[in-house]
Amino acid sequence: MSAKDGVRNQSFIHRNVGIGEKIGGIFWLSLGALISVLLEVIYLGTRVNLPGGTSIAVPYTIVIAFLFNMVLTRTSMLWTRHWLAVFIPLFSWIVGFFALLMWNAVVGDQIVPSNIRTVLLLFAALAGGIWPMVKAK
């Protein structure tokens, strides 16, 4: 094996990341978290119609909230090692969730349903966002 082959097999990871690039990365993750919470809340009331006229609730966005916030936290761990900065996308998700929750008081339209699925969505998102940091320790 020549030295040239050894160089090809190594993975090159850019370690000298500037502060602007870190802020930009965390910003885009936070924007993704805000879009995610909006879509998860909108589709939280999804129902599937069964034969016979009955329908059942299929709150698949609860699972998506858990998994997507886990991905957001893992990705933010690539950008920064500061324990508080890692959670900025999760904080953005939580702020977006409570903004949508307060939307009823401000505008009068209820976006977030008043049921147990809403509570499960919040807890699933929190658990998914915190899990990568707990697992890393």
pLDDT tens per residue, range 108-130: 788 888 899 999 999 999 999 99
Look at residue 4 in the predicted model and tell me its pLDDT. 52
Look at residue 17 in the predicted model and tell me its pLDDT. 77
Q: Is residue 98 part of a domain?
A: yes
Q: Is residue 19 part of a domain?
A: no
Q: Which domain holds residue 47?
A: 33-136
pLDDT tens per residue, range 19-28: 898 899 999 9
pLDDT tens per residue, range 59-72: 999 999 999 999 99
Number of structural domains the chain divides into? 1
Q: Is residue 75 part of a domain?
A: yes
Q: Report the chain's mean pLDDT, rounded to a whole number.
A: 87
**In a 10 Å sphere around its CB, with 0-12 CB exposed, 13-18 middle and 19+ buried, how is residue 79 labelled?**
buried
Look at residue 13 in the predicted model and tell me its pLDDT. 54
Q: Is residue 9 part of a domain?
A: no
pLDDT tens per residue, range 4-24: 544 454 455 556 778 898 899
Look at residue 80 in the predicted model and tell me its pLDDT. 87
**CA 85 to chain CA mean position, Å:** 15
Q: Is residue 25 part of a domain?
A: no
Q: Is residue 129 part of a domain?
A: yes
**In a 10 Å sphere around its CB, with 0-12 CB exposed, 13-18 middle and 19+ buried, how is residue 112 labelled?**
buried
Token reading at 131: 């899990």
Distance CA 66, CA 52 (A): 33
Q: Look at 15 and 39; give whichever has higher pLDDT.
A: 39
35-51 average pLDDT score: 94
pTM tops 0.75, yes or no: yes
Q: Is residue 12 part of a domain?
A: no
User: How many residues would you count in the chain?
Assistant: 137
Q: Is residue 43 part of a domain?
A: yes
